[in-house]
Amino acid sequence: MKNICFYFQIHQPDRLRVYRFFDIGKDSHYYDDFVNRTILRRIAQKCYLPMNKVVLDAIKATDGKFKVAYSITGSALEQFERYAPEVIDSFRELAETGSVEFLCETCNHSLSSLRSENEFAHQVRRHKATIEKYFGVTPTTFRNTELIYSDSIGKTVYGLGFKTILTEGARHILGWKSPNYLYSNDIQASQKLLLRNYALSDDIAFRFGSGATTAESFVAKVNAEEGDIVNLFMDYETFGEHQSAETGIFDFMRALPEKALASGIRFVTPAEASKKLKAVAPLSVPHPISWADEERDVTAWLGNELQQDAFNKLYSLVEKLSIIDNADLWADFGRLQESDHFYYMCTKFFSDGDVHKYFNPYDTPYEAFINYMNVLSDFIIRVNDEYATKN
Please state, in angstroms and rounded to a whole number, the distance separating the CA atoms of residues 122 and 117. Answer: 9
CB count, 10 Å around CB of 371?
21
Residues with Cβ within 8 Å of 111's Cβ and at least 6 positions away in sequence, in order, are 145, 148, 298, 301, 302, 311, 337, 339, 342
Q: Strand locations in 144-226, DSSP E?
A: 164-168, 183-185, 192-196
DSSP lists the bridge partners of residue 3 as: 229, 266
Is 78 part of the annotated catalytic residue set?
no
Q: Please state whether beta strands 192-196 and 183-185 pair in parallel, antiparallel, or not at all (unpaired).
A: antiparallel
| Of 105, 119, 146, 168, catalytic | 146
For 259, half-sphere exposure in the C-beta direction (CA atoms, 13 angstrom radius) is 16
User: By three-state DSSP, how is residue 378 classified?
Assistant: helix
Check residue 47 and report its DSSP letter: I
CA distances from residue 67 to 9, 325, 328 in whole angstroms, order as listed = 15, 41, 38
CA nearest to 71, candidates 116, 108, 97:
108
Please state, in angstroms and rounded to a whole number, the distance separating the CA atoms of residues 297 and 168. Answer: 10
9-29: string of b/e by CB count within 10 Å (b at 16+)? Answer: bbbbbbbbbebeeebbeeebe
- At 303, phi and psi to the nearest 5? -90, -5
Amino acid identity for residue 75 in this structure: S
Long-range contacts, stretch 131-136, CB < 8 angstroms, 24+ apart: 131/72, 131/102, 131/104, 134/77, 134/88, 134/91, 134/92, 135/91, 135/92, 135/95, 135/102, 136/95
Supply the residues annotated as catalytic.
146
